[in-house]
A and B are shown apart, each in its own frame.
Chain A
Amino acid sequence: MTDPVVGQTAVGSGLVVDDVTLVINRQTILSSVCLELGTGRVSGLLGPNGAGKTSLLRMISAQHHDDEAYRGEVRWQDDVLAQMTVAERARRVAVVNQLNEGVFALSLRQIVAMGLLPHQSLMARETAADTARVEQALERVGLADKQQRRFSSLSGGEQQRGLIARALVQRAELVVLDEPVNHLDVYYQHDILALLAELAHEKGMTVVMSLHDLNLAATYCDQLALLHQGRLEASGAPEDVLQAQLLEAVFRLPCDVRQQHSSTATAAGGKSTMRVDFHPHARTALAGAHPLQDKTR
């Protein structure tokens, strides 16, 4: 098992999760998690359902509620995120959540333009520069021709692209995404992750997200962290984290891990990526396996 990377407190370091413990309803959701994720990189949080991925992301984006007791802190560029004002945090950290857009239908353009909010004063109107910024962001994610469409009428992948455009307009240094490719078809899974990897590498944006698909994570992430029952089991480069023995213990399914040269791995720049295969039919060897934890693709 790899040891978790414990806080080397370099000046101006990226995202540092410093000994975070989270308790909700007397249940320990996260337990002494220490993690350091680099600036301008794509990081993926992995782990089975209930491992604490979403909770850790919510701690990172300071979205936890007041009634949740926690210890430790999360720092972004040496500033404690929980101590920033809501407005200050919004200028630096963008969050891409599933939108349950309610009764009133907003257009894609209107939702993307909301990224301007953290930078606007009360009296401000949209300036020409703001408009250009929104246009550029929509252009960048390839949705310029759909900006007047109702957001809810877009496909799941387009909605996700739209929210990433909003994060671009928000000029956030750090973008936090909770399972951005859930419910998306294979095309959009690759499309969204490739877009995020490009943005991280070209604009120096730091991307932190949770993912279920280990092979997608291996292809597009520079750094991985594996959570299990609220603990950090491993973190580091994909080849350090994706180890058969470790994955078998966490996902309770036999698996094998290979190095392979992938043609789809645009983000990896043609270098070799890891390939994880689970073998659910061989699981009798592992006691107490969960039948729904089938990760075979």
Chain B
Amino acid sequence: MKPVVRISVWWWLLPVALCSPLLALLFGAADLSPNSLIHCALGDCASPLDSLIFHDIRLPRVLAGFLVGAGLAIAGAALQNVTRNGLADPYLFGVVAGAGLGASVVTILFEPDTARSLGITGLIEALGQWLPEVMILPVAAFFGALLAVSLVQGLAVSQFARSSEQLLLAGVAISLMLGALTHFILYLGEPFAANKVMFWLMGSLTRVESDHLWLLLLVVMASSSLLWLLGPRFDAMLLGDDNARTLGVEAGHMRKLAMVLCAAVTAVIVAHCGGIGFVGLMIPHMVRKLVGVTTRAVVAGCLLVGGSFLVWVDVLARVTVSDQEIPIGIITSAIGSVFFLLMMRQRG
């Protein structure tokens, strides 16, 4: 069943996804001509300044944009598949808020003053021996995200969230609850630390460093590979848990796995880039229109389309206001909320 139509979609999706990051390298505050860009890409930068801009600023930024977009899109797709709800999204369902809560708690606790007043300095030092520093925030965010997905999972199988709209409302409630907790902790904490945490609420790619990229790459690739491998089994879950079980698929285990993957991807993204909303809702929806609903196609499509989408949104964030950057989360939320309303109208 490889209809010609489907193949032609991939034929233009792939080049677009490859060209987007390359073209996006051209945009930014500093000038970098296409010519010097090509030289840098070939490992032969004209000047040290060019090299600095290319290797330390532009390239990590664009790669981060691509990975974050791709990751959010597959996290959303996984969540939508296993909740059988086209409106599911890590942002709307509180996974982002949960990860933000975890990250905030750790950021506040790890402030030397706070740690001293709580008498947990020793504990933190011990933890520091175990865990490389670059991992602390993502791990904390992961635990927060796990809390959120367990709540969503509990709701998804409970009686009072049978319809997709009810489940969505329940997810939004979880998101608000965890968000409120985060705000409360920030309110209690040091003003300086609170400032540091503010960017989680906005979502931005400015703080991503090369160290973070590796972790991001690892988690996004591992999650999408697993989803791809298990794709046909996730497809069976679209028919409902009972039907999936008659086809040999342990629906409960699969759902938990997808939730954990969603939490992991969301956590690494939130830990470094904050809450970037609606990408996980919009991209899978568009991808299904393009390549169909089977999990393997959706995962591959989400990687390509989600990555390209966020790369361009980031370009927009960098060039719209000169000498300034708009936090990327503001732009995705603005686009996403309109998209969401259009989707609701379509369904109604």
Q: Which residues of A contact B (CB under 8 A)?
A: 61, 63, 86-91, 93-95, 97, 99-107, 109-111, 113-118, 120, 122-123, 131, 147-148, 170
Interface residues of B in 227-286 (CB under 8 A from A): 229-230, 232-233, 235-236, 238-240, 242-243, 245-250
Chain A CB within 8 A of B164 CB: yes
Specify the chain B residue showing the minimal Cβ separation from A100. Answer: B240
Given contacts A117-B233, A123-B229, contact A86 B294 (CB under 8 A): no
Specify the chain B residue showing the minimal Cβ separation from A126. Answer: B1
Chain A CB within 8 A of B318 CB: no
A103 to B288 Cα, complex, angstroms: 11
Contact between chains at B248 and A117 (CB < 8 Å): yes
Residues of A within 8 A of B233 (CB): 117
Contact between chains at A103 and B84 (CB < 8 Å): yes
Contact between chains at B243 and A91 (CB < 8 Å): no
Given contacts A63-B245, A86-B249, A110-B294, contact A103 B164 (CB under 8 A): yes
Chain A CB within 8 A of B189 CB: no
A117 to B250 Cα, complex, angstroms: 12
Chain A CB within 8 A of B132 CB: no
> What are 14 A-B residue pairs whose CB atoms fall within 8 Å in the complex?
A86-B245, A93-B246, A102-B240, A104-B86, A104-B293, A106-B239, A111-B239, A115-B247, A117-B247, A117-B249, A118-B247, A120-B232, A122-B229, A148-B1
Chain A CB within 8 A of B85 CB: yes
Residues of B within 8 A of A99 (CB): 239-240, 243
Q: Is the interface of B mostly helix, strand, loop or mixed?
A: loop
Contact between chains at A103 and B86 (CB < 8 Å): yes
Q: Which residues of B contact A (CB under 8 A)?
A: 1, 3, 81, 84-86, 164, 229-230, 232-233, 235-236, 238-240, 242-243, 245-250, 288, 292-294
Q: Which of B81, B229, B236, B247 has the most CB of A within 10 A?
A: B247
Residues of A within 8 A of B242 (CB): 63, 97
Nearest chain B CB to A16's CB is how many angstroms away? 20
Residues of B within 8 A of A107 (CB): 1, 292
Contact between chains at B246 and A117 (CB < 8 Å): no
Residues of A within 8 A of B247 (CB): 90, 114-115, 117-118, 170
Nearest chain A CB to B278's CB is how many angstroms away? 18
Contact between chains at A114 and B3 (CB < 8 Å): no
Given A103-B86, A122-B230, 7 more A-B residue pairs with CB atoms under 8 Å apart are A61-B246, A89-B248, A91-B248, A102-B240, A103-B85, A105-B293, A123-B229
Residues of B within 8 A of A118 (CB): 247-248
Nearest chain A CB to B259's CB is how many angstroms away? 18
Residues of A within 8 A of B248 (CB): 86-91, 117-118
Nearest chain A CB to B247's CB is how many angstroms away? 5
Specify the chain B residue showing the minimal Cβ separation from A119. Answer: B248
Contact between chains at A86 and B250 (CB < 8 Å): yes
Pick the contact of A117: B164, B236, B294 (CB < 8 A). Answer: B236
A195 to B12 Cα, complex, angstroms: 44
Given contacts A103-B164, A106-B293, contact A94 B288 (CB under 8 A): no
Pick the contact of B246: A90, A101, A113, A120 (CB < 8 A). Answer: A90
Contact between chains at B236 and A102 (CB < 8 Å): no
Residues of B within 8 A of A114 (CB): 232, 235-236, 239, 247
Q: Which of A61, A117, A131 has the most CB of B within 10 A?
A: A117
Residues of B within 8 A of A113 (CB): 1
A143 to B134 Cα, complex, angstroms: 56
Residues of B within 8 A of A170 (CB): 247
Closest 8 CB pairs of A and B: A90-B248, A118-B248, A95-B246, A87-B248, A104-B293, A102-B84, A103-B86, A117-B247
Contact between chains at A102 and B229 (CB < 8 Å): no
Residues of A within 8 A of B232 (CB): 114, 116-117, 120
A109 to B6 Cα, complex, angstroms: 15
Q: Which of B3, B248, B292 has the most CB of A within 10 A?
A: B248
